[in-house]
Structure formats: structure tokens, C-alpha cells
Amino acid sequence: SNGKILVEMDEATGVAVMKMKSPPVNSLNLDFLTEFSISLEKLEIDRSCRGLILTSAVSKIFSAGLDITEMSGKSNEHYAAFWRAVQEMWLKLYGSNMVTIAAINGSSPAGGCLMALCCDYRIMADNPKFAIGLNETQLGIVAPFWFKDTMINTIGNRATELSLQLGQMYPAPEALKFGLVDKLVPEDKVQSAAAAAMSQWLSVPDHARQLTKSMMRKPAIDRLVKQREADINNFVSFISKDSIQKSLQIYMDRLKQKK
Ligand code: CO8
């Protein structure tokens, strides 16, 4: 491990806390995603681990989403490997048998929002400076069907249609109203609130909860599993287009200029 993912396992409670630590913004590059999936897999097969709290060790940021530099100026082989790693992260996290709780202690755009949506329950720091949402259209790119499915399964069709088309980022209070997060707590209470919610979730018998979770999520997971290669090909041909590369470049330049 090169240490982008810190895992603290509490044997007494059976709860692991996974802290994303890839400054400055926890962007999801190939290394990060690979380490994330390996760490998750280890916890998944550890029978003493029943719950996972996903949070950030970077102040003010949960995750800035996919690393834009992984999607620009690279070879098609690289884009394919990157996208496979993004799929893997989603398949593992959305399909986890553990209780997963996102402790969202900062901004969480795009892929960061997706990670949070993959969890069973979301607690966010009550700070209007922190925003969450799937803002892909703002970058001139299109969230794939499984991002869309994940959002629909959380906030419903109409709210997803609005959010996705507009590429809307919601400050924490709005995110709560939209159902994008389940609870807001003061910033210094995010971890303790996540631990409290976890003990409620863990009071339900695992087998019943797991089968119920699977019943809710399996159709979306199966849809990607069936079309995994096609989805990769689709991503590679989309992202390698000159017009898309240009949009991403403009977005990155704007991001750098805003300071
Ligand atoms: N990828 C790469 N670099 C990034 C990213 C990112 N996602 N986000 C920020 N950075 C860089 C910045 O450019 C900056 O670099 P530098 O220091 O060299 O100038 C550094 O990280 C710090 O960023 P900021 O100064 O902006 O930090 P702030 O604390 O002011 O803001 C934010 C943090 C709110 C996270 C802000 O950086 C931001 O809004 N970032 C953009 C987030 C974003 O739009 N992500 C979308 C990625 S796309 C995605 O996840 C899903 C794509 C789906 C695929 C579609 C199929 C085609």
C-alpha cells in the first residue's frame, strides 16, 4: 500500500473506518482506485468486519471525484484501464455486504458524490460551503447509466432528472432537502454521528439486511456486469473525442484560474 487509504478496524465493534488521504482533493486516480478496491475487498472477506464508515482525512474535502488528469491526454489503453477501475470501485462499494455509511466531511462532487451514494446511509457536515452532486454535464461530459441508476435509487427519477441535466451541486442544507444525504450534523460530530447510525444498522440481523440490500441493488449491478466491456468501449470513444478533450481542458483551466 502506498497509503492513500487508511483503514482503522475496531475489533470490538466490528466496524472499520476507511479514511481517504490523497491530498489536495482525494481525486480518484488509477492508483487510488486500485488501493481502494483492494482495501474494500480485504474488509469484505474479513468475517469480523460488519460495518464500514467511509470518510476523508483531507480537511474540507470528501472527494473531488474522478481525477480529470486521468481523462485527458492519455492513451486509449490508459482510459480503458482507468474506467475498469472506476467500475470495480462502484461494483464493490455498491454491492458490499457490509453496512456502509458515508461520513461526508467536505465537498463531494461527481465521483465523490457517487461514492457517497453507494453507501447505505449518508451523514454530512452542516456547512453550506460543502456541496455534493453529480455535476458531470457542467464539465461537458455525461454520467454513465450506472451513475444515473445509483442516483435514481437514492432520490427518485424526477429529482435525478433535474440534478443530472443541470449538473447541479447542492450545498449541504439543500442536499438534505433533496434526500441526497440523510442527516446533517455539526462538522465536529460527523464521525460520532456515523458511529451512532452504524450501531442502529448493525442491530439488524446481517443475513436479512444483506438479502434486502441485494434485492434493492442487484438489478443495477447486473446491468453493469452484463455490459461492462461495452461500457468501457463507450467511455474510451467518448473521452478520446477532440471536442470532449477540449471541454475538459477548459474546465481544468477554469479550476486553476479561480484562485
Ligand atoms: N481532478 C484533478 N485535479 C483536480 C480535481 C479533479 N477532479 N479537482 C481539483 N483538482 C486540482 C485543482 O486543479 C487544483 O490543482 P492546482 O493546485 O494544481 O491548481 C487542486 O486540485 C486543488 O483544487 P482547488 O484549488 O480547486 O481546491 P478547493 O479546495 O478550492 O476546491 C473542490 C475543492 C471543490 C473539490 C474543487 O477543486 C472542485 O470543484 N474540483 C472539481 C471537481 C469536479 O468537477 N470533479 C468532476 C470529475 S468528473 C467525475 O468525477 C465523473 C466523471 C464521469 C465520467 C463521464 C464519462 C465520460
Q: Report whether residue 107 contacts ligand 1, using a CB cutoff of 6 Å.
A: yes
Residue 111 lies in a domain: yes
Distance 224 CA to ligand 1 centre (A): 26
Ligand 1 contact via 61 beta carbon (within 6 Å): yes
Q: Is residue 101 part of a domain?
A: yes
Q: Indicate the burial class of 79 (C-beta count within 10 angstroms; 0-12, 13-18, 19 or more).
A: buried
117-135: pLDDT as tens digits: 999 999 999 999 999 999 9
Kindly state the helix (H) or strand (E) to which residue 113 belongs, with its residue range: helix 111-118
Does some domain include residue 259? no
Which residue segment(s) compose the domain that 30 sits in? 5-202
pLDDT value at residue 51: 98
136 lines ligand 1 (CB under 6 A): yes
Is pLDDT above 50 for 176?
yes
The ligand 1 atom at the shortest distance from the C-alpha of residue 112 is 50
Find out whether the beta carbon of 143 lies less than 6 Å from any atom of ligand 1: yes
Residue 136: active-site member: yes
pLDDT, average across residues 69-88: 97
Instruction: Indicate whether 1 pLDDT > 60.
Output: no
In a domain, 243, yes or no: no
Q: What percent of the chain has pLDDT over 70?
A: 99
Q: Domain tally for the chain?
A: 1
> What number is the ipTM of this complex?
0.98
Which residues make Cβ contacts (< 8 Å) with residue 45, sequence separation at least 6? none
Residue 26 located in a structural domain: yes
Please identify, by atom number, the ligand 1 atom nearest to the C-alpha of residue 66: 50
Q: Is 235 in the pocket of ligand 1 (CB under 6 A)?
A: yes
129, 187 Cβ separation under 8 angstroms = no
Is 231 part of a structural domain of the chain? Answer: no
Q: Cα separation of 87 and 84, whole Å?
A: 5
Q: Is residue 66 part of a domain?
A: yes
For residue 233, the CA-to-ligand 1 centroid distance in Å is: 25
Q: Which CATH number characterizes residue 186's domain? A: 3.90.226.10
- Of all protein residues, the one whose alpha carbon is nearest to atom 19 of ligand 1 is 256
CA of 122 to the centre of ligand 1 (A): 22
Confidence of residue 258 (pLDDT cuts 50, 70, 90): confident
- Does 187 fall in a domain? yes
Whether ligand 1 lies within 6 angstroms of the CB of 202 is answered as: no
- State pLDDT tens for residues 4-13: 999 999 999 9
| Burial bucket for residue 12 (CB in 10 Å: 0-12, 13-18, 19+) | exposed
Catalytic site residue from 43, 66, 139, 184: 66
Contact 169, 186 (CB under 8 A): no
Question: What digits encode the pLDDT tens for the residues 3-58?
Answer: 999 999 999 999 999 999 999 999 999 999 999 999 999 999 999 999 999 999 99
Average pLDDT over residues 165-182: 98
Q: How many helices (H) and strands (E) does the chain have?
A: 10, 10
Ligand 1 pocket residue status of 145, Cβ below 6 Å: no
**What is the per-residue pLDDT across 134-150, written as a single tens digit (0 to 9) for each?**
999 999 999 999 999 99
CB of residue 85 inside a 6 A radius of ligand 1:
no
Task: Determine the distance separating the centroid of ligand 1 and the alpha carbon of 47, expressed in angstroms.
Answer: 36
Could you say which of 52, 112, 135, 180 is catalytic?
135
Which residue among 14, 51, 106, 111 is the active-site one? 111
Cα dist from 219 to 12, 97, 223, whole Å: 34, 16, 6
